[in-house]
A = this chain, B = another copy of it.
Amino acid sequence: MPAPFAPLIETLPSSVPFVGPEALERRTGAGFRARLGANENVFGPSPKAIEAMRAAAPEMWRYCDPENHELRHALALHLGVSPANVMVGEGIDGLFGYAVRLFVEPGVTVATSRGAYPTFNFHVQGYGGRLVMAPYVEDREDPASLLELARKENARLIYFANPDNPMGGWWEAEAVARMIAAVPPGALLMLDEAYGEFAPPGTLPPLDIENEQVLRFRTFSKAYGLAGMRLGYCIGHERVIGAFDKIRNHFGVTRMGQAGGVAALADQDYLNQVVRQVADAREEIARIARSLGLMPLPSAANFVAIDLGRDGAYARRVLEALAAAGIFVRMPGVEPLNRCIRITAGSAEDLRILAAELPAALKATL
């Protein structure tokens, strides 16, 4: 007898948002020499976070604290809000899944930008939501277009990333604050600030935990270098934050991640050093691009989108040539963004390999 799937499940595709670099390595049988595709932090987590995790390893027979008390309280202190305004989850991806579930049921409309974060769309579709998309404007997610679309389509959720992925663009805090103020009644803004620590001062608007219509998403996966530990957090009104408890996997975050996250957060000197290293790497990627006659886009994140000046098929071929040369890179999925390839801020050695291989990759595809 067949398994009795719910009708919605039967309609969903089996496609997954991202193929991991390990899967690509298994296909080719060769390891990547430079891992520059997933916007990981190649400079790694704070040595204090590594030490905290090593010290915690023998304690892993104990369940995690389902309240994430220590990490949540440390975050609250760091952010100047109450612990009741902070929810910790299994990466921003995990929190997106919960947040979408809180607001979306079949038929509910959700507004995002065409080419923005695919995993958010995956969750919306997974709960039967109806996605509507505004275009990027001058390679940035566009608040005015998103708000207009949301009003016209009666969207219940609006997704906006600042800085943006995959293009790296950003808006100043004042523009984002105006967007927040203009969220229509009956809608909620999911503001993805995963790359916020890399952005120039004045990019992130002040937190306003009195506003029930906005959720801010941040992560330990990028600037804090703990992508492998799956630690994201979400900041908002306590009524909205409290609602996660109705549905989340309370024991979803690891005890090890809790230990690593607390130690990483406490080491802001290391964070500041990483942010400087990332800024230097962005400059070097831009220099490599320009030296080959290519256009690097301005970025406030830990990657640079390089405009190759042709179409998506060409960019795809360059990507494949780079992969064949041992360099893992990704690219935007839709026009016109897919004229670009997106390169993560790498180590000096990573970028030396990139500089050596990119010219051939650009030519091999002629």
Contact = CB atoms under 8 A, between A and B. Distances in A.
A229 B246 contact: no
A192 to B, nearest CB: 15
A256 to B, nearest CB: 6
Contacts of A14: 242-243, 245-246
A192 B228 CA distance: 28
A102 B212 CA distance: 30
A34 interface: no
A245 B15 CA distance: 8
A29 interface: no
Contacts of A80: none
Given A45-B61, A60-B226, A93-B249, A3 B188 contact: yes
A316 interface: no
Nearest to A23: B67
21 contacts: A1-B186, A2-B239, A3-B239, A5-B103, A5-B243, A13-B246, A18-B250, A20-B63, A22-B65, A22-B69, A23-B69, A42-B61, A43-B61, A45-B58, A56-B228, A60-B225, A93-B249, A93-B251, A126-B246, A228-B255, A230-B253
A153 interface: no
The main secondary structure of chain A at its interface with chain B is loop
A155 to B, nearest CB: 10
- The winner among A8, A90, A126 for most chain B CB atoms within 10 A is A90
A9 B64 contact: no
A166 to B, nearest CB: 16
A325 B279 CA distance: 55
Contacts of A23: 65-67, 69
